[in-house]
Amino acid sequence: MKVTKAQHIKSNGQVSPDHLQEYDNSELLSLLKEKDQLISTVAHDLRSPLGSISALAMLLGQEGELSGGQIELLDLIKTATNYSLKLVDELLTSKKADLKNLYIKEIDVHATIRNYLKFSQHLIDSKGQHISVNFLDGDALLMIDKEKLTRVIDNLIGNAIKFTPRGGKIAISTLIIANGLQITVKDNGIGIPENIQPQIFSISGGGRSGTSGEKSHGLGLSICKRIIEEQGGSIHFQSRSGKGTNFYVWLPKLRSEPLSSSDPAAEDGHKFRLQA
């Protein structure tokens, strides 16, 4: 039976550099596409049962007369399923090759950050952390994909919470810089070790445990960078091990004129409209 090149690659799981030239680009691209489709299918199939487990654990937690040990076990189930759901979401996002095809609409960056903090309050309280917010006057409106912006906010603030110890401080601010909006997230946490800083935005950057043992799979910042750069923006950081980390996200193209009074978005006062 004749074995195709693609079948040979699949059966061996890899292609050595010496034999890579034997395969034409179209066949390699077809195989890579098949692999990505498989990963996406598995991730989609996992999401539904994981969501069901998380919901059932929440319902069980609302039942009365649970012992301390039972409550602790339910918390472990919820933590594990939430972590797995986040990993699935990261995999799905990382496999969306065409990030240029975004669902663009006008999004309030400040409201997105406030919503994230609202839904993460239990995490912040559990670590006794102090979060300060310093926004520019008015609302900062970006023409951007809401899901992508939310994922960036989730990763940046989520990492600050994760890698800052109990009682630590996190500061979030926005500022107009160079005809764009800068979002800054600062913490006084454990910082990023110097030896992994060069790989921090790569998929192979590796995961680290948070200050309370939180797991991390290392995909988040790689995805953040891809999203931000597809929007024409940039992301960079400053960090010292043991001293904390500052992340800076810049998104471009501020139209500095305030919205007209007839615009529904201007009802709450002076607002800026930004377009990424």
List Cα–Cα distances, 83 to 47, 67, 78, 127, 217, in angstroms: 12, 24, 8, 18, 9
Do residue 86 and residue 109 come from a single domain?
no
Measure the CA–CA gap between 251 and 125, rounded to whole angstroms.
30
Of the pLDDT bands very low, low, confident and very high (cuts 50, 70, 90), residue 267 is very low
Do residue 136 and residue 89 come from a single domain?
no
Tell me the residue ranges of DSSP E strands in 86-168.
104-108, 130-134, 140-145
Domain assignment of residue 216, yes or no:
yes
Domain assignment of residue 130, yes or no:
yes
Domain assignment of residue 65, yes or no:
yes
Do residue 216 and residue 120 come from a single domain?
yes
**Could you tell me what percentage of the chain is helix, strand and coil, using 3-state DSSP and rounding each to the nearest 5?**
50, 20, 30
What is the DSSP pairing of strand 140-145 with strand 180-187?
A: unpaired
Do residue 169 and residue 139 come from a single domain?
yes
Query: What pLDDT sits at residue 133?
Result: 95
Query: What pLDDT sits at residue 264?
Result: 37
**What is the span of the domain harbouring residue 216?**
104-275
Do residue 179 and residue 129 come from a single domain?
yes
Q: For the segment 202-219, what is each residue's pLDDT rounded down to a tens digit?
A: 866 556 778 887 766 667
Q: What is the tally of structural domains in the chain?
A: 2
166: domain CATH number is: 3.30.565.10
Q: Note the Cα 135 to chain centre separation in Å.
A: 21
Of 76, 94, 112, which residue constitutes the final position of a domain? 94
Domain assignment of residue 99, yes or no:
no
Of 94, 117, 132, which residue constitutes the final position of a domain? 94
Residues near 236 by beta carbon (within 8 Å), at least 6 away in sequence: 247, 248
Domain assignment of residue 109, yes or no:
yes
Do residue 23 and residue 131 come from a single domain?
no
Domain assignment of residue 44, yes or no:
yes
| pLDDT of 163 over the 80 cut | yes
Do residue 222 and residue 167 come from a single domain?
yes
Whole-structure pTM value:
0.62
Do residue 131 and residue 12 come from a single domain?
no
